[in-house]
Structure 1
């Protein structure tokens, strides 16, 4: 039986992270895939490494799994260094993108394969395989071969094979990428439900923002080998740490400007759209270059002379709403959501407004 109370910290050190990275770096012959990142992952959490292709997320996952050596830095699991510990000796299992099932073995045999090296009795092995298959709702398929299963069913078998060993940490390398959109949504629900039932820590790699938001207690956003931000999905969406995060997560409208004054948690920024006082990241000073971030759903069509003017360039029907793209002063591209039956006409000039208390100001990137 796979225990659901795994999350209980019998050491009494509730605040200690399950996994910690300190200055973790990976260099492939002069190519810096991971650039000295720090992170902490709590026990019994679902954490997603999110970023575009080539950002370093898979390299980081492979170092944690023991498939790649660190170029420098430290990885600790339960407070113990993983240096020199081979993948087979780590309490870590991986679910790969292609599932990696043995085609000549049955579902039951695939799931039990790793237990053959654990010196368990046949009774214990059978019980654990049965428990793992039950957790992923695959007991009726136990005698089938992988070729007789759908993509979603193969994914469940791969999960069962990973959790049957009761690892402290489960790594998932883009596990849903081969599934169609409907199946991906169904599996997202099942994955999160499974993680909660098992009380196990999941670390999931994806480039899909919607997937990360649906699954995660925390998201680690990566860019060019660095961690841009680690926080809850709500914090990342509402309070991005950088213009990159604001743009990558949800496609915020970005207006460059200059800080005219900063007091406490707010700042005044002068932009081509106008002058606004909004919540801001800490540390901004008068004269700093900064960026105003406005989510598309915050913008609204404005009557009269209020707000700022844009010219509509594109409209896209999305069923319940329209996505409208426009150009503003300073050649700034603006996106907004319109739920009216008909959107503004392409080529028309309209005025837009927003609640400044719900926008966000970040520092401009280096060189920007």
Structure 2
């Protein structure tokens, strides 16, 4: 590789499709995973994310398209010969085996001698901080400890890629947060690529270097957590990630700069000139996106709203309101006087912190 050239992806998917009879679960997706990265497939149930994971793991066949690992096609490689391991949602531990026997189960079918197997198992348990519990059985462990046993079993063979299928969904909120920290720390210490599937956006943001947002078998957007949150490519992403206020409108003008796009959009709330996604065209329908925390009461604001609900969230209030007839909006209030239900409030936002998104992702 030439100096300065980009590193080859560890895994690459090109025009990847998966169909079950007449139903298309995955519709021509393209993405890549860099070595030593933490990538999350994020989306609601039925969006195709688990089908992608299962195709990579070899548990489902690829209907069409290309999957390559380290530059080699996975098409003819059976699941047990792929340098890929999976951590399942259910953990899939053997209840009659000890922790160390669960972790070393797959190694028993290799050519490693007993001493090597014992060392690898001990190393894997140390990595997930479970060495002292090696002789216990799964029923004697907490949910978080069982999850770490499943992780140890998955990493004991040092796979090139670790697949995690909703691995934290069975844990309570507190344990889930603890495991998020442990998962990210483990990935950094191993220097291994993780591909994580979840519907939980908070989980995705806490763990990921790259998030791939999916909807109806297609990729809506992929990028860093910051890009996904602050610059949603579509109205769907703006709503799914953080619940942005979405105001439909029509593009009047577009200014394409060297590094950014700025557009003027006409909406029921007024006319605004704000940054936007690439590809906007004058006359096209688009969506103005403003996060609730970016809207604030102002004496000389841009528009009036009528308060409909107040939701206490501990450090702040979420105020739900209506504007321009029946347009639902939300804004955050951290201090100041709490407006009563039915009160009229004038709101404003900094145009630099709003965003214009496309109404839909382009067809594959």
TM-score range, shorter chain: over 0.9
Q: 2:185 aligns with which of 177, 189, 193?
A: 193
User: In the alignment, does 2:276 pair up with 1:280?
Assistant: yes
Which residue is equivalent to 1:295?
291
Q: 1:22 aligns with which of 3, 6, 14?
A: 14
Which residue is equivalent to 2:216?
224
User: In the alignment, does 2:44 pair up with 1:57?
Assistant: no
Structure 1 stretch displaced more, 335-344 or 279-288: 335-344
Q: 1:335 aligns with which of 330, 334, 343?
A: 330
1:136-190 residue CA offsets vs partner (Å, 9 max, x unmatched): 0000100000000000000000000000010000000000000000000000000
Q: Number of residue pairs matched?
A: 357
Return the alpha-carbon distance in structure 2 between the equivalents of residues 229 and 319 of structure 1.
32
Structure 1 position 286, deviation (Å)? 1.7
Matches within 5 A, 1:38-117: 38-117=30-109
Return the alpha-carbon distance in structure 2 between the equivalents of residues 258 and 219 of structure 1.
29
Q: 2:350 aligns with which of 326, 350, 355?
A: 355
User: In the alignment, does 2:126 pair up with 1:141?
Assistant: no
Structure 1 position 330, deviation (Å)? 4.5
The runs of 4+ residues in structure 1 deviating greater than 4 Å are none
Return the alpha-carbon distance in structure 2 between the equivalents of residues 18 and 206 of structure 1.
21
Which residue is equivalent to 2:152?
160
Which residue is equivalent to 1:124?
116
The DSSP-based 3-state class of the residue aligned with 1:182 is: helix
The DSSP-based 3-state class of the residue aligned with 1:158 is: helix
Structure 1 position 343, deviation (Å)? 2.2
TM-score of the two chains, using structure 1 as the length reference = 0.95
Structure 2 gaps, min length 5: none
Compute the RMSD of aligned alpha carbons.
1.6
CA 125–14 in structure 1, closer or farther in 2 if over 3 Å, else same? farther
User: In the alignment, does 2:206 pair up with 1:214?
Assistant: yes
The DSSP-based 3-state class of the residue aligned with 2:19 is: strand
Return the alpha-carbon distance in structure 2 between the equivalents of residues 96 and 81 of structure 1.
24
TM-score of the two chains, using structure 2 as the length reference = 0.96
CA 330–22 in structure 1, closer or farther in 2 if over 3 Å, else same? farther
Structure 1 position 342, deviation (Å)? 4.8
Structure 1 gaps, min length 5: 1-8
1:302-323 residue CA offsets vs partner (Å, 9 max, x unmatched): 11x4321111111111111001
